[in-house]
Amino acid sequence: MSKSAQRLNRLFDRLERKIPAVAAGWLARIRRPEARLYRIPLGILLVLGGIFSFLPVLGIWMLPLGLLLLALDLVVLQTPVNSAILRGGRKWTSWQRSRRDKRKSRVS
């Protein structure tokens, strides 16, 4: 298994720990190798739904999830998806810290 595939698996494991148990069970089932026939079309549909997020019901959250699912099977996507998720996670954390710091400075 390549380094990017291992990193992708660690990212999926971390995601499974953070989401509700029902969704984590679904994600674990869809990650199995025998679920490839379902995973690829589902990933494509999620990416398309994310692109059309301006429509009601669809959302931008579908795009990264679809890319994650596709990256399990398409080696070409593994490195860019890994780096995007890691970069996005760092930005999210720094944004949350800055919000927390602003709130603390207002209260003081």
Cα(30)–Cα(16) distance, rounded to whole angstroms? 12
- Domain with 44, as residue range(s), is 3-107
**Cβ atoms 67, 81 nearer than 8 A:** yes
Structural tokens at position 17? 């720990």
Domain count, the chain: 1
**Cβ atoms 28, 34 nearer than 8 A:** no
**Cβ atoms 2, 75 nearer than 8 A:** yes
Q: What letter would DSSP give residue 51?
A: H
H helix intervals, 1-108: 3-18, 21-31, 36-51, 62-73, 75-107
pLDDT tens per residue, range 19-62:
899 999 999 999 998 999 999 999 999 999 888 887 777 788 88
**Burial of 106 from C-beta contacts in 10 A (0-12 / 13-18 / 19+):** exposed
pLDDT tens per residue, range 81-102:
989 988 988 998 999 999 888 8
Q: What is the mean predicted confidence (pLDDT) over 9-20?
A: 89
For residue 43, count other CB atoms closer than 10 A to its CB.
23
Residue 108: band (very low, low, confident or very high) from pLDDT cuts 50, 70, 90: low
